Each structure stands twice: as structure tokens, then as C-alpha cells.
Amino acid sequence: MGFTLDWREEPAVSPQSGFFLQSRAGQTGNFEVVIPWPDGGLAHYWRDNEHPALPWHGPALFAQGKRYIAASLTESDYTTFLSSPLNNLEVIATREDGGLEHWWRENGEALVWSSAGTIFNGATGAPALVYPGAIFAEGFLDIDLDAHEPVESYVVTPLSDGGFELFSSWSLERLTSMGTPDPKESRFSQVLPDRKIVGVGIALTTLHNSSVKASWKGMREMYPALRGDIIVAAVSDQGALNLYVHGSKPTGAFPYARGWNSGLTITQPTEFGHVLRPFRGRPCLLQSDYGLDEESWFFDSGHFGNLELMAPGKDGGILHFWKDNGEKKGSGDELSLGWSFASKVGSSQYDEVSFIQSNFGDADHGPLEMIARRGEQKGFDFYWRDNGFVWHGPIAVVSDKSSTGTVAQPLSPTEPSDGLVFTAWENIGRERAVGTLHGVEVSVEGPGIGGVTDGTFTLFASPYFSPPLPASDAVSLTSLAGSSFHLRFGVPVRDVVLHLASVASKITFPPGTAVTRVSGDPTFSLSGTTATGVVAGSLDSGGTLRIPGAVTDLAFTADPVFANGPDGFYIQVGAWPQ
């Protein structure tokens, strides 16, 4: 009899925790996020990954009337409605009074959130919930999808009196303590012994498993009872990030016993040495499929997938580390070996981070997708890393004017613009175009200007623009090497929205400009303050950018991405009244 693990084939990642996941909803799988709502309760957002503009929706509030510190989200194999292809969402959340609650959302009809009660008291900080996937036994003819092997989930939470505790459960309500490590013991000699933990993450890995398989799905389908190392990341109130390993720990009487084995303190390398406590808030880690190579049986022993680790930095941004886990024949390199500092992502100061490896694209490895947020933020910032290891973002997904039910960014055709108006262009000369926005003058200056002033321009009608404009005015700009443009508003406006169409240029804003990519076709990208399009037939690239906050004037340059320009592209300018 064989076994089938209910787990994605690609990417071949191991289970990880956080408040962000890619669910089964839709053909691709939607993104789902659950966060504490600053006014009380919990908030659920989701991104429609079937829509070309990839719009975010939410927040849908639940658990109102209580105040929470942090939450962790997973998708289980439980189903309320058997006819639905979806599964239930499961959440654990830490209340301000120390109660750790369990909530779940049904997989059909009204998608109602329900409470399963308090499962633990004495918690604090950000917890983590991880679900390993269900194993189904293969019968004589087919897989019996109505029954599966028992599933052991895991919860880890910081404790109000110091340290953290790891629990296992055969259902999300019944917890059995797996204990907490003591950093003062000799096997944790590399761990800074800070006892007050503010946030934790957990990853179930294949490291040191006794099968020939290096991937999670391969290991579990070969021997369902097998487990590799469980790794917990914990950030202290002093800023130390410690890793702890719970794995095989045999004794004479108990050859299959498991326990806490080793620990490691992660430090940030700089040109002046290592910073010992550079972190803050909630970390996240996973075992990705970067570096993964299953054993060929004839030529090699295979290679484990890398560990990926992220945590907010005290000095801003998200600090990203990765570990080469080595070959399968060595059962995985020791915890202290193979680490590299990848990069600092973003510059804002955050309190928590959650990331996944998604199934987007057709490259060998799915991209990393990341959510970072501040505790008081009514929403979050979204980042993603492309196949060239370049990070894009932040895209701010926030609720405008503290409203619920819609997000202000990215906008989608079904969500109200709430005061967003686009320019009526009236007078277009060769080096200056003038129009009206919110009743006052707006102008753009630069070389090679043209445009449409009669409301018949239709390139912005595509769903790649947020919001789409079925017919509008537009200004055409000419990009030569180093072309400079200046956008001026007669009075300050708020949150400028730029629709850019037929772009085969690099459009660069001054350093420090807060620019976010709202939407766009797959070839339209943003890195730092530079938006880039590519040559793609007659229309090239297109999408929507947003510059948040009060804006009076905005400068930018444009350089063609091909030799022997020029490149002509189109722009439409919108904003909210200040």
C-alpha cells in the first residue's frame, strides 16, 4: 500500500508558519493574510491571483470585541462543505491578556469565521502555527479522500514568564507540550540567553530524516511517520535572534526519542564586524526548494533545499539570511554551517514579517513573496523577489481613511476610488502639457510631448491598470538617454497615481521617493525608485504606480531600454484631494 501527501508538487517547499499563505482557492492559488486589527479583532485579506491585475481584497473583520497581539494562519485539510474544492482556514491568535485562541473559517457558502475557544493561557508575543499536510492511504483502486492518516500539527508560542514552548496536536484543539529549550545548557552554548521572547517562527524540515528523500513530499510519501528537524526561530526583546532544533535524540531505552538538540545565534555581518542583536519583532523561516535535488539512486545522494530566514531589523528593513543545507548523504549540515546574509529588503521599520515561496512563473524555482507590517498598520506592505534575486516593492495594501471592506491599494475595478480623479488635459505643446485636476492646474514639462485631449485614449482600459479607464485623456512623452520630466500641481494633492502605457524605458524617480507598483503586466517591474518596461511588440509594457502622501511636484527621468531610441510612452495622472 502506498501513500499520497496532500501537498503541492511545485514549489517543493516544506511547511512553514506565518500570517501569510497561498491557498487552494482558484487555479493558481490565492494569497491569504490574517493580521490583528488595530481597533480590535482580526482582519482577513486575500489576493485574487486569477485576475490579471492581481487585486487585493479586504479586510473582512472577525473576532471583534477583543484585542490581539499577533496571529498565525494555515490551511488545513478540514472541510465544512464536502462539495467545495477549498479547505478550512485555521488561525491562532494571541490576545493582549495572554490567551491563545483558535479560529477557523468554513470552506464554502458565506465563508464564516468561527471560534474554537482558548487553547492556552500564559502566552505573549507572536505565535506560530504549522500544518504538515494530510497523508492519504492508496487503496486497491484509488485514494480514499474521505479518510487519512492522523496529522500532527505544531504550535509554538512565547510565554509571558519567559522563553517559549512548542506543542504538538493531533487536532488543533488538543495540545501536548514538547517542552522548551534551556539556552543555559551546554548544547546551546552558541545562543545568547535572552529569556523574554517577543516573536517566533517555525519550520518543519527534512533535515536529518532517515529516508533517501530530501523533499518534504518525497519523505512523507515514502514513510508517513518520518520527521526531520523542527527548527524554531525566536527573537528576544533585546534583539537577539536564536534558532533551536528539535529532532532525533535517541537514548538506550528510547531509540526513537526526540528532543532539543542544538541552538545558534544569528548575527548581522557588516564591514565593521557582526551586530549581535540587530533584530526586532516576529521572524519567519522556511525550507525552500532552492538547492533541492532528490537522490538519483545511481549518481548522487541528493541535496537538501536551503533554509530561508527573515526578521525585521532595528534599523529598518527586513534582514534576509539563507543556509546551504548540504548533501543528503550527510543528513544535512550542522545548524551553524552554510549561512549567508542575502540582503536587507526595504527600509521602513517593521514589527513582523511572513513570507512564502509561491508557484508563480515557469522558472525552476517559484519566487519568494513577503508581507511586512507595523503593529499599528491597518494593512501591510507586500514585496516579491524575481528569478534574478531582485526584490520589488513595497506595495502598500492599506485601508484608506480607516474604512473596512476595501483596500486603497492596489485598486481594483470593483473597489471604489473614494475621491480619486484623473487629469483632464487641455493644452498640449511640444515641451509642456497643461490640464486640470481637482479644479486646479497640473502640468508636465519635458522634451517631445504630445497627447490626447478629447477623452478617446483607450490603452488604460486594460485590467493591468488600477483602476482601468475605459476612455480618457493621455500625454505622450519621449524618452531619450537622460530625458528629464517635471510634474507640477497647483496645490498639494494626496497619493498620486500614474498610469504608464507602452513603456520600453527605465523611469527613475529621485532617491528617497516612496514609489509603489500597484499593478501591471508581467513585464512591468519596479526596483527601488526605478520602474522598467520592456520591448513587447507595438504596446510594450504598462502598469500603475503610486506615490503616497502629499505631493506638489514630482521629477523623473526616462531612458530607453534599447539602443538607438527614442521610446515614446503614455502617462495619465490621478490623485486624491489633499
Tell me the pLDDT tens digit for each residue of 260-303.
888 899 998 877 778 889 999 999 999 998 888 876 555 556 78
Q: Which residue has the higher pLDDT, 561 or 393?
A: 561
Q: How large is the greatest C-alpha to C-alpha distance in the chain, in angstroms? A: 88
Average pLDDT over residues 92-101: 95
DSSP 8-state class, residue 402:
G
pLDDT more than 70, % of the chain = 88
449 pLDDT band, cuts 50/70/90, is: very high
Residue 371 has pLDDT above 90, yes or no: yes
474 pLDDT band, cuts 50/70/90, is: very high
The answer to whether 517 and 506 are in contact (CB under 8 A) is no
Residue at grid coordinates 491599494: 409
Q: Peptide bond preceding 150: is omega within 30 degrees of 0, i.e. cis?
A: no
538 pLDDT band, cuts 50/70/90, is: low
Q: Give the chain's mean pLDDT.
A: 85
- Please indicate, yes or no, whether the overall pTM of this predicted structure exceeds 0.75: no
249 pLDDT band, cuts 50/70/90, is: confident
Residue at grid coordinates 518543519: 204
Average pLDDT over residues 344-371: 90
Domains detected in the chain? 3-402 (2.120.10.70), 421-577 (2.60.120)
DSSP 8-state class, residue 303:
B
pLDDT more than 90, % of the chain = 44
The answer to whether 365 and 357 are in contact (CB under 8 A) is yes
DSSP 8-state class, residue 220:
H
Residue 86: Cβ within 10 Å count: 19
Residue 172 has pLDDT above 80, yes or no: no
Residue at grid coordinates 511640444: 430
Average pLDDT over residues 436-441: 91
Q: How far apart are CA 154 and CA 307, in angstroms?
A: 19
Sign of CA dihedral 218, 222, 228, 230: positive
pLDDT digit string, tens, across residues 191-243: 777 889 999 999 998 888 877 787 777 887 777 777 889 999 999 999 999 99
Residue 116 has pLDDT above 60, yes or no: yes
Residue 134 has pLDDT above 80, yes or no: no
Burial class (CB in 10 A: 0-12, 13-18, 19+), 447: middle
Q: Which residue has the higher pLDDT, 157 or 12?
A: 157
pLDDT digit string, tens, across residues 379-416: 999 998 888 888 888 888 886 444 444 444 433 333 33
The answer to whether 303 and 326 are in contact (CB under 8 A) is yes
The pLDDT assigned to 34 comes to 96
The answer to whether 215 and 294 are in contact (CB under 8 A) is yes
**Nine-digit cell string for 574:** 490621478
Residue 527 has pLDDT above 50, yes or no: yes
Q: Are strands 432-437 and 424-428 parallel, antiparallel or unpaired?
A: antiparallel
